[in-house]
Amino acid sequence: QSVLTQPPSVSGAPGQRVTISCTGSSSNIGAGYDVHWYQQLPGTAPKLLIYGNSNRPSGVPDRFSGSKSGTSASLAITGLQAEDEADYYCQSYDSSLSGFVFGTGTKVTVL
Amino acid sequence: QVQLQESGPGLVKPSDTLSLTCAVSGYSISSSNWWGWIRQPPGKGLEWIGYIYYSGSTYYNPSLKSRVTMSVDTSKNQFSLKLSSVTAVDTAVYYCARINEDRGVSNWFDPWGQGTLVTVSS
């Protein structure tokens, strides 16, 4: 059961900028818990893309950036490339569940 | 380099118990990390199942709590998942992952295992 809401899909032409929103509530993002983002290429396991709202692990291009405000967070991809076509998920912690929650997922299509 | 590898039967009969193991290499499971299980039904999103500490402390998703048991074997550097009374809705790719923590308000999964597809069918 996903309690973080994302748009089902976003698309853009190569080189463009796209953003993905992640909306939570007062028991998760709004409670001060950080948001993390994962990229899932077709047929593969999710891969950490952004941690701690805005930090990139080593090896992740700086085209990817994250931010958080209030009960929401966003992932931005600038200079969109064909290899960015994938599913993206946000994730946080929920105090009412005493556990983790994932977003509904967003499919990014490069036109 | 930390690596996680899931293993277990790919086919389980309805009402039986699903059993999976996650072998960890390149890192001690007794280090200060929690270890988690996540699943993904075909064509759907990610669902957190639960997590365990090397001491055996566990937290389970409330929606699955009555059917889930997790355990850890530090001598083999691995942890396990059991899900009882499975039905077709439990068909999914099951992933294990290390949970990283920062400042008590930041917990993320990295790295992940490659995942294993478990199909529930007679």
The per-residue pLDDT for range A31-40, each reduced to its tens digit, is: 999 999 999 9
Asked whether the predicted pLDDT for residue B15 surpasses 90, the reply is: yes
B74-119, pLDDT tens digit by residue?
Answer: 999 999 999 999 999 999 999 999 999 998 889 999 999 999 999 9
Asked whether the predicted pLDDT for residue A3 surpasses 90, the reply is: no
Do residues A101 and A93 lie in contact, with contact meaning Cβ atoms separated by under 8 Å? yes
Asked whether the predicted pLDDT for residue A1 surpasses 80, the reply is: no
**pLDDT in the model for residue B105:** 87
pLDDT above 70 as % of chain A: 98
d(CA B27, CA B112): 13
Asked if B50 lies within 8 A of A99 by C-beta distance, the reply is yes
Asked if A91 lies within 8 A of B36 by C-beta distance, the reply is no
Mean local confidence (pLDDT), A2-11 = 94
Asked if A45 lies within 8 A of B110 by C-beta distance, the reply is no
Terminal-residue alpha carbon distance, chain A: 31
pLDDT above 90 as % of chain B: 96
Average confidence score pLDDT of chain B: 97
Chain A residue with minimum CA distance to B39: A45
Mean local confidence (pLDDT), B4-12 = 98
Residue A47: list chain B partners with CB under 8 A. Answer: 112
Burial class, A99, CB count within 10 angstroms (exposed 0-12 / middle 13-18 / buried 19+): buried
Burial class, B111, CB count within 10 angstroms (exposed 0-12 / middle 13-18 / buried 19+): buried
